[in-house]
A and B are shown apart, each in its own frame.
Chain A
């Protein structure tokens, strides 16, 4: 794709994404400054997964997850790495398989149960598809257990309100940015409060994510 224009009058709101709490979808507007600030955090998470200069991360997600995904995309650039994309659906699993084979990413982020189903429908097993990948961050618990069962270096990516927490392969806890977000647990549910300025603020926002804060910056799920 080529570029021919510049921003003449960019909108204040970078985009209207969403935060999903259980079955409820909350529209979630974010600013360009929010995305830039989250990028700092997600570059750190990607580096912890082993992404570095000259590397590639394949991000498996949905467009509706854009406010969570854009900081990873840009974070890859901060590390001198590149990214590619596939949809987190069973139909588009063929793209994940094909791009892993063709581009040989160091990290794959966001493989969920539907993608695992799609890979199985193609007659492929997870172990052979991802065997050359240094870290596969599962997008849900179903994928995490299936990837780990196949002996893959499995990490976890979890959306927590408007931000993300990510583990490294084999680690029990997920890391989040405690300088920008206060995460608490109450009755087994994670609550989140923004510490850095955000277009859509949240104050002890109930995320619907079951988990526990181990220490500031680290949480466990379930």
Chain B
């Protein structure tokens, strides 16, 4: 065991700045030589999908073969397998759950947030810090510091083990409105430097509690060097508000259920780690690569997870993507999350994602929290219908608010919306604590 040097720039310098050719050589070796044969032999869903496509691991000798021949899977395929076979792991599990020698490896089962339906069980392998140590180090948190761990239970112990992995001590706080006073208190008394995570709904809760308790947020939060903001994107107005408290936000986005991608201090895209995942950026309606800088669907393949490996998993997430090196010195790819494919509506030929109307809705005082849903009975609709949450305290007449929101959205996307106003709680009740469903069928 060696003590961590607080002055080191990167947590894992050799990996984080690895030359691209080396990243790709290792990726190809892992994927073609190890992960794919393993997954095909052991995962019932992968084997079933590949057999239907007439593909075997022996057929794949290059990444060109992989791109041309390996079939895709998605959440619907996993759920369908789960329902057909009464298998909670959706045919992904590569280990015999009854194998006694593996019980220390496969110790628990966590679950996805369940925003879009039933939570999907996720087998949890091992114990100890994850590769997120690299992100937590980038926040500026160092050995001996306190680190605010503000989350839920259903993600498992990965985060607090990872906080300890950079030598810091987790301070446990619930991602719930009733625990915000303790969040303030622990921030003042223990002066943590890192915080995982902040979300849009939590920003609202903090504002409300601060107003009620007379909390000076700039002073309360002055020790933090970095805060991970996760769950969904943050609008520009909310970001300015949080930054006025003196917090530096590091946005994090999901990486197709094989990990996460997080901003570095340059705040120019979210880094993912190419030693842990192979990411493709494809035409959302097809299989061809999307161009650099264009909207494309994130398709993920794990390089590490041999318990329940995802291979060519169509995430439904629309991103911009680059593998150009970042100014921070890291060489790994970056993504900019734009929204979810299943959230897109096309109104009179105009494509609209929730992110396209976010800033407009935030720009009106009563709807500044950015709580809204796009009503999406189907992808192509005649009218852009929005359900927008408003703050009741001090609100002007609803007619005035509705007109302002309508005009702002019309100007932003070129389509006049039909706006339904509801109280914040109506929307907050629909989501996990850190986000809400951004589309609704009705």
Q: Is the CB of A66 within 8 A of B98?
A: no
Which residue of B12, B131, B165, B172 has the most chain A CB atoms within 10 A of its CB atom? B172
User: 0/1 per residue, B263-292, Cβ < 8 Å to A?
Assistant: 000000000000110000000000000000
Contact (Cβ within 8 A) A8 B106: no
CB-defined interface of B154-193 with A at 8 Å, one 1/0 digit per residue?
Answer: 1011101010110111111111100100100110011000
A10 and B152 within 8 A (CB): no
Binds B, one of A97-105, A136-144, A147-155, A179-187: A97-105
Interface presence of A220 (CB below 8 A): no
Tally chain A residues at the interface, Cβ within 8 Å: 52
Are B130 and A66 in touch, CB under 8 angstroms? no
Produce 1/0 per residue, A1-37, CB < 8 A to B: 1111111111101111110000001010100000000
A145 to B1, CA, bound (A): 50
Counting CB contacts under 8 A, is B114 at the interface?
yes
Selected from B100, B146, B259, the residue in CB contact (under 8 A) with A2 is B259
Binary per-residue interface labels of chain B (241-274) against chain A in the complex, 1 for a CB within 8 Å, 0 otherwise: 0000000000000000001000000000000000
In the complex, which residue of chain A has the Cβ closest to the Cβ of B167?
A: A9
The 0/1 profile, CB within 8 Å of B marked 1, for residues 48-89 of chain A is 000001101001011111110110010011001011111101
A-chain residues with CB within 8 Å of residue B153 when the two chains form the complex:
59, 61-63, 69, 85-87
Q: Which of B117-125, B329-337, B341-349 binds A?
A: B117-125
Which residues of chain B are near A62, meaning CB under 8 Å? 153, 174, 176
Would you call B3 and A18 a contact (CB within 8 A)? no
A87 to B11: give the CA distance in the assembly, Å.
32
Task: Report how far A185 CA is from B144 CA in the complex, Å.
Answer: 38
How far apart are A98's CB and chain B's nearest CB, in angstroms? Answer: 5
Compute how far the CA of A65 lies from the CA of B160 in the bound complex, rounded to whole angstroms: 13
Q: Is B403 an interface residue (CB 8 A)?
A: no
Q: Give the residues in chain B near A95, CB-CB below 8 Å.
A: 111, 114, 119, 154
Q: Residue among A1, A76, A85 with the most chain B CB within 10 A?
A: A1
Nearest CB of chain A from residue B350's CB, rounded to whole Å: 35
Asked whether B130 lies within 8 Å of A4 as measured between CB atoms, the reply is yes
A91 to B157 Cα, complex, angstroms: 21
A92 close to B (CB within 8 Å):
yes
A205 within 8 A of B: no
Chain A: CB-nearest residue to B4: A9
Which of under 10, 10 to 19, 20 to 34, or 35 or more describes the interface residues of B? 35 or more
Report the Cα distance A99→B111, complex, angstroms: 9
Chain B nearest Cβ from A181, distance in angstroms = 22
Contacts of B82 in A (CB 8 A): 102
- The distance in angstroms between the C-alpha atoms of A18 and B189, with both chains bound, is 14
B80-112: CB near A (< 8 Å → 1, else 0) gives: 001000001000000001101001101111110
Give the distance in Å from the alpha carbon of A167 to the alpha carbon of B293 in the complex: 59
Pairwise interchain contact B152-A63, C-beta atoms closer than 8 A: yes
A73 touches B157 (CB 8 A): yes
Residue A8 contacts which of B3, B169, B259 (CB distance < 8 angstroms)? Answer: B3
- Measured CB to CB, the nearest residue on chain B to A79 is B103
Asked if B33 is at the interface of the complex by the 8 Å CB criterion, the answer is no
Pair A9/B143 contact, Cβ less than 8 Å: yes
- Docked complex: B402-442 residues within 8 A CB-CB of A: 429, 432-433
Interchain CB contact (< 8 A) of A82 among B106, B129, B168, B170: B106
Report whether A77 and B103 are in contact in the complex, using a CB–CB cutoff of 8 Å: yes
Question: When chains A and B are docked, how far (Å) is the Cα of A76 from the Cα of B170?
Answer: 23
A-B contact pairs, 6 of them (CB 8 A): A3-B128, A5-B129, A8-B4, A25-B185, A84-B109, A102-B118
Other A-B contacts than A13-B169, A64-B174, 11 sampled, CB-CB below 8 A, are A1-B125, A17-B172, A63-B150, A73-B157, A77-B104, A82-B103, A87-B154, A91-B433, A94-B114, A95-B114, A102-B118
Residues of B with Cβ closer than 8 Å to A? 1-4, 11-12, 82, 88, 97-98, 100, 103-104, 106-111, 114, 118-119, 121-122, 124-131, 133, 143-144, 146, 149-154, 156-158, 160, 162, 164-165, 167-176, 179, 182, 185-186, 189-190, 259, 275-276, 302, 304-305, 429, 432-433
Q: State the A residues within 8 Å of B (CB).
A: 1-11, 13-18, 25, 27, 29, 53-54, 56, 59, 61-67, 69-70, 73, 76-77, 80, 82-87, 89, 91-92, 94-95, 98-99, 102-103
Shortest 10 CB-CB contacts between residues of A and residues of B: A2-B304, A4-B131, A9-B167, A85-B153, A102-B88, A15-B170, A9-B4, A16-B171, A84-B109, A13-B169
